[in-house]
């Protein structure tokens, strides 16, 4: 069971532990001017890993889809989210996937949640800082250069899950590393003038609340994702209105 759960989130059996090339210079990291949305329909791009695709829950329970529904309830016509995310991705793997996707569209708002697999695999914090900074610039580019329309989400603490309690590191050690990665992401986001939403404290409530964990014993449940969406929605509402 432990091996199966590990494979679900942190799928890096073959070449996964090998670092890939960083994002090339021609990747969409510029900040072009985007025209004001006059269509009344808003577009949303979600960048990340398993926490963005909603591993082990129904698609409509993932935080991007719940976020979209909250905005719709507040009279915003939001298209189905465009998601570039996959279970197990690290920052460099997300970078390469973005390049391969060849996305040229600009979006009305963008979310970015990445880094748990860097921490899990033992990648250096310095590497994370560099690649996260590059991804943030890419996200800003996708938002048409509008920093206020990019929303970074902190890394949840998987050490508070049943899987995390029985893995190769103690929950305390995992929490310490997650905090270090999040501190780096928050500083980089703040320095760039980008919103940072800290959902990590709530993820730790799962230690005593099984309803916050999906059936795989590792990923968030729809209930936890609902909390993330509720935390993001007012911030996004304020910039779209």
> Rounded mean pLDDT of 55-64?
98
- Rounded mean pLDDT of the chain? 89
Long-range (24+ apart) CB contacts under 8 A made by 81-84 are: 81/44, 81/45, 81/46, 82/43, 82/44, 82/45, 82/46, 82/107, 83/45, 83/46, 83/52, 83/53, 84/45, 84/46, 84/47, 84/48
pLDDT at 36 over 70: no
Q: Which of 39-43, 191-195, 198-202 has the lowest mean pLDDT?
A: 39-43
CA torsion angle 185 148 153 58 (round to 10): -150
pLDDT for residue 32: 39
Q: What's the confidence (pLDDT) of residue 37? A: 57
Maximum distance among all alpha carbons in the chain?
52
Number of Cα atoms under 13 Å in the Cβ half of residue 98: 33
Q: Of 66, 71, 60, which is closest to residue 108 (Cα–Cα)?
A: 71
Q: What is the CATH number of domain 39-240?
A: 3.40.50.1110
Tell me: the pLDDT tens digits for 104-155? Answer: 999 999 999 999 999 999 999 999 999 999 999 999 999 999 999 999 999 9
Q: What percent of the chain has pLDDT over 90?
A: 83
pLDDT score of 196: 98
Q: What is the pLDDT of residues 72-113, one digit of tens each?
A: 999 999 999 999 999 999 999 999 999 999 999 999 999 999
The DSSP call for residue 110 is E
Q: What is the pLDDT of residue 217?
A: 97
- In this predicted structure, what is the pLDDT of residue 66? 98
Per-residue model confidence (pLDDT) at position 38? 56
The β-bridge partners of 112 are 47, 152
């Amino acid at each position: 069971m432990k091996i199966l759960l590990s494979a679900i989130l942190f799928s890096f059996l073959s070449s996964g532990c090998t670092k890939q090339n960083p994002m090339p210079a021609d990747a969409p990291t510029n900040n072009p001017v985007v025209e004001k949305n006059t269509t009344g329909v808003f577009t949303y791009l979600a960048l990340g890993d398993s926490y963005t695709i909603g591993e082990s829950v129904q698609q409509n329970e993932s935080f991007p889809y719940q976020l979209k529904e909250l905005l719709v309830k507040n009279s915003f016509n939001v298209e189905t989210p465009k998601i570039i995310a996959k279970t197990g991705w690290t920052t460099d793997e997300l970078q390469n996937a973005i390049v391969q996707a060849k996305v040229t569209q600009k979006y009305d708002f963008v979310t970015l949640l990445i880094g748990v697999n860097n921490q899990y695999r033992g990648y250096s914090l310095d590497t994370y800082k560099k690649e996260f900074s590059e991804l943030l610039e890419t996200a800003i580019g996708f938002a048409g250069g509008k920093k206020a329309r990019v929303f970074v989400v902190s890394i949840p603490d998987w050490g508070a899950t049943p899987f995390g309690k029985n893995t190769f590191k103690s929950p305390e050690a995992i929490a310490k590393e997650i905090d270090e990665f999040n501190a780096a992401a928050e500083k980089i986001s703040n320095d760039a003038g980008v919103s940072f939403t800290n959902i990590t404290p709530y993820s730790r409530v799962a230690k005593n609340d099984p309803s916050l964990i999906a059936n795989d014993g590792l990923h968030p449940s729809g209930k936890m994702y609902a909390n993330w969406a509720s935390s993001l929605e007012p911030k996004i509402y304020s910039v779209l209105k």
